A and B are shown apart, each in its own frame.
Chain A
Amino acid sequence: MGNASITTRGLNHFFGKGDARKQAIFDVNLEIERGSLTILMGPSGSGKTTLLTLIGCLREVSDGSVSVLGHELNNADEDLLVGLRRRLGFIFQAHNLHESLTSTQNVLMGLQVHGGGNPQKQRDAAHHILNLLGLADRRDYLPSNLSGGQKQRVAVARALVSNPEIILADEPTAALDKESGHKVVQMLKSLGKARGTTTVMVTHAPRILEMADRIITLEDGHIVSDQRQ
């Protein structure tokens, strides 16, 4: 396994069945190092999201191999997948916050998935990360009372609060203004240095491209360029 936290070998992915069967990923071979910040680029429909969901244990790997944190996903059982998902952090394009939960409660959901734990410590941790993201005065608000950017920052806090080993983000900065987008990516980068957190992110924002360790470009399901910087 070496220092790679994500490895893919001969990975293909198909959608649909019979005549409607369509290949979205073609023979992708990747090794993504622990602690790195990798950016996925490519035109719409090129397979970026599909690749992210395969790595994120959200889609069944049926052709080729994906190994995440040392575990093979092809033919993995549901328990292994659920267990692995707990070690990942997702930041979606939409915030996907629970409308009935306050900012703090939404962030707590990211911690309580691990079970047990001291409730007061969990609450402190949730408040701490919300503070870091500039949401100290919004922690008891329901999502309906937050702006789009604030909601997205709560979603980032929810993904980061449990110290995931890998963070998968799909155009997370779309809803964020430039400054907080930059701040979030800065946080991800320093987490990579301090804790070895690996980040794979789909984005086209130029300022963020500059901060990446590696930029992979997809086209029609093929990797067409792979630059390290």
Chain B
Amino acid sequence: MSHLLTILFGRLPIGWLQLTHSRGRFFAAVAGVAFANLLVFMQLGIMGALNNSTVAPYDILDADIILSSQDGNTLTDGGHIPRARMFQALGVAGVSDASALFIGNLPFTLEDGSSVSLLSFGMDVAKPLFATPAIATSLEKLSLENTVLLDEGTRGMPKDVIAELIDGGQFRFETGGNTLTAIGTMDVGVGFLADGMMIMSDQSFMRVFPGRSSGAPNHILIRIADGVSNDAVVARLMNTLPSGNLRIQTKSGSAANDLAYMATERPTGVIFGFGVFMGLLVGLVIVYQVLSTDVADHLREYATFKAMGYGQSFFLGIVFEEAIILALFGFIPGILVSLGLYAGLVSFTGLPVEMNAGRALLVFFGTLMACSLSGAIATRRLANADPADLF
């Protein structure tokens, strides 16, 4: 290692030799950085799962523009909008079709007596184009009264039930005085939003949710004609539709807004953001502590090097060398343990917690930056190395 670094730097790897000389301190520092990495990875992992959950339902919709009420927060946490807007929108140039989307949460008692909640979408089965192709083909079958498609990832649902459904079987269940029949599955993975999800016709939705009126859906989905730009249609809709309590967004814009809302306005998002910040801070403090003690412990040696004619950049080089070594050696165990914990979380909670290259790179460069910053602060102590005091 030392030999390799010598070739790399064209000088003795003083930082490496110095760090590894006091093994106890080195391992403590590496463990500290690894722990900080772990904190950040866990926070980001759960935050990522939260984000995935938030936008997952968008994946089953195929729409260009979504009309929603202003007092809604996200797609699945929204207010109502008059269905009249749909008819008005159909009259706007560039709009090729529009459809109402109803959303509700249905409690369901499992065989073992525990209760889960199912996020339920009611859609117009005569307009399958508003669902993604995988679901669109099954959508027509949902015109049969009280039939549903059930999310494969629904928590608490026996594995054999799902397997049978995938094989073309059926599953009958009772909820709120209604008997529903699952006739197929979809793969959404709603994670944090609910325990599971199902999709049904708007007719069935009204039966299952007797309090809801077909005149007040949650959203209006809009598809635009070929060759027309989203923005142009959005602008025209804004001009045409009554502006009271109405939000007009593209599908991707709506998803982005949902993410921003979850990150900044919901306590969970804020807590996770704070967790990431704390992880960074822990790493920063540990690395600063180690590096500045290390500088303080070697002031005499540094003063000697100064007397020998080594300049400031040499000493900065040592401290940054140490910072980079700590970042590297801390990151590796940090990400390995995180991967293990991610796998554990997935198998225990079913939440969509996953590592991706982007996050790994982000955390690695974050670690590198934090370590370098700590190193930069620690170098202030170098000024105390005065070669005149050596004699």
Contacts and interface: CB of A to CB of B under 8 A. Distances in A.
Contacts of B300: 96
Contacts of A59: 388
Contacts of B27: none
A52 to B, nearest CB: 6
A56 B389 CA distance: 12
A86 B14 contact: no
B117 interface: no
Interface stretch (B74-82, B101-109, B303-311): B303-311
B304 A86 contact: no
Contacts of A92: 304, 390-391
Contacts of A98: 14, 18, 298, 301, 304
Interface residues of B, dominant DSSP: helix
B45 to A, nearest CB: 38
A96 B306 CA distance: 12
Interface string A82-102: 111111101011101111110
A137 B311 CA distance: 32
Contacts of B305: 109, 113
A98 B224 CA distance: 74
A96 to B, nearest CB: 4
Given A53-B391, A59-B388, A96-B304, A113 B17 contact: no
A93 B300 CA distance: 13
B107 to A, nearest CB: 66
Nearest to B305: A109
A99 B21 contact: yes
B11 interface: yes
A34 B327 CA distance: 50
Given A96-B300, A119-B6, A113 B310 contact: yes
Contacts of A170: 391
Contacts of B306: 85
B311 A82 contact: yes
B390 A100 contact: no
- Size bin of chain B's contact surface: 20 to 34
A74 interface: no
B301 A58 contact: no
Contacts of B307: 56, 58, 85, 90
Given A96-B301, A101-B12, A86 B308 contact: yes
Interface in A182-229: none
B22 to A, nearest CB: 8
A109 B12 contact: yes
Contact of A113 (B14, B309, B387): B309
Interface in B345-391: 387-388, 390-391
Interface string A57-68: 011000000000
Interface residues of A, number: 33
A71 B21 CA distance: 40
Nearest to A162: B308
Interface in B3-33: 6-7, 10-12, 14, 17-18, 20-21
Contact of B309 (A82, A97, A99, A119): A82
A157 to B, nearest CB: 13
Contacts of B10: 116
Nearest to B11: A112
A49 interface: yes
Nearest to B15: A100
Contacts of A84: 309
Contacts of B391: 49, 52-53, 92-93, 170
Nearest to B6: A119
Query: Which of B303, B304, B311 is the most central at the interface, judged by chain A CB atoms within 10 Å of its CB?
Result: B304
Nearest to B9: A112
A100 B309 contact: no
Nearest to B310: A113
A96 B385 CA distance: 13
Contacts of A88: 309
Contacts of A56: 307
B365 to A, nearest CB: 29
Interface in B256-296: none
A90 B391 CA distance: 10
Contacts of A82: 309-311
A105 B387 contact: no
A108 interface: yes
Contacts of A94: 390
Interface string A105-140: 100111011001001000000000000000000000
Given A52-B391, A96-B301, A105 B309 contact: no
Given A56-B307, A85-B309, A92-B390, 8 more contacts: A49-B391, A58-B307, A82-B310, A84-B309, A88-B309, A92-B391, A94-B390, A116-B10
8 nearest A-B residue pairs (beta carbon) = A86-B309, A100-B21, A85-B309, A96-B304, A100-B17, A58-B388, A49-B391, A98-B301
15 contacts: A58-B387, A82-B309, A82-B310, A85-B306, A86-B309, A96-B300, A96-B390, A97-B301, A98-B301, A98-B304, A100-B21, A105-B12, A110-B308, A119-B6, A158-B308
